[in-house]
Amino acid sequence: MGVLPCLMLLQSSAMKFLLPTGVPEHFAELGWNLGTMWWMGVLEAACTVAYLVPRTAMLGAILLSGYLGGGMAAHVRIGDWAVVLFPLILGILLWGGLYLREPRLRALIPFRQ
């Protein structure tokens, strides 16, 4: 459950380094410059790696929640409502995957029938 969003985040991070057609234009539309794009790719990859390492998975999930929330805010700011749901779904999948694999989180948030 948590692997799919990680693959998508790593692919998104790679796009910030490789700069395929359309990515710089979309970043400009959001109000970001190309110099910032590289640092955002590093941040996204680092947070994703932190999520994948079992010892730092909880910290990675918190950092990725902030990163995805910022992405949602950037799209809301320009009125691009079609993209807002995507980071929300990624966040739910990340936390759901962490909930299933981390007993400390299940103890913290017990769902009972």
Q: What is the pLDDT of residues 46-69, one digit of tens each?
A: 999 999 999 999 999 999 999 999
Q: What does the alpha-carbon distance between residue 58 and residue 83 come to, in Å, rounded to a whole number? A: 26
pLDDT of residue 57: 95
Q: What does the pLDDT read at residue 112?
A: 72
pLDDT at 72: 93
**Number of other CB atoms surrounding residue 100 within 10 Å:** 12
Percent of the chain with pLDDT over 70: 99
The list of the chain residues with pLDDT below 50 reads none
Q: What is the phi/psi pair of residue 61, to 5°?
A: -65, -40
Contact between residue 5 and residue 94 where contact means Cβ atoms under 8 Å apart: yes
What are the residues whose beta carbons fall under 8 Å from the beta carbon of 1, sequence distance 6 or more?
A: 93, 96, 97, 100
Judge contact between 31 and 79, C-beta under 8 A.
no
Q: What residues does each domain of the chain span? A: 3-104
